[in-house]
Amino acid sequence: MKIAIIFASQTGNTAAVAQAIREGCVGHEIVAFGPPPAEVGEAELIFAGSWTDRGTCAPEVGEFLRTLHGKTVALFGTAGFGLSESYFASLGDRFKGELPADDRAVDAWFCPGKMPPEVRERYEAQLKERPGDKRLENMLQAYDHALTHPDGADLEHARAFARTMVEKVEGSTCFVN
């Protein structure tokens, strides 16, 4: 199978996940690997990944996704605020929303990703101005949780996700949209 893995990574988190996805696709031809814009040619499956930018994919990934037509796409990403599976599911829905109607979204997978120290410093400064702000306290908790991610377990999950997506595309015409 011909596979393209296109991703945007601001801090290296999504690039690490993309590499794990590549490893999960061993035995298949990788026709493209890297940031958008990229030529995906005759790829039968496109993995498209991004860091999370205000609850959705990075602008360059959204733009790339909107150029695809008649493609089969599996989405992935990292998020600094990933404290729940429901949040990751909502990200998958938002990323899928960037795809044209004639694409087939196989599935989406996300994991936490560490953020730069400046982000924590900004939250701490805001919390000093608004002591007891639960939203900011939750943001700090999410920041601290994401510090060790993506970790080895996340990367193994990314490899497994890739294998599962390849199996779905090779063996089925049923897709999630």
pLDDT score for 176: 46
CA–CA separation, 135 and 142 (whole Å): 11
Distance of CA 71 to the CA centre of its chain: 18
Q: Is the pLDDT confidence value at 177 over 50?
A: no
pLDDT score for 171: 82
DSSP three-state, residue 81: coil
CA–CA separation, 177 and 101 (whole Å): 9
The residue type at 40 = V
45 or 38: which leads in pLDDT: 45
The residue type at 37 = P
- pTM tops 0.75: yes
Tokens 């199996």 belong to 167
pLDDT band per the 50, 70, 90 thresholds, residue 82: low
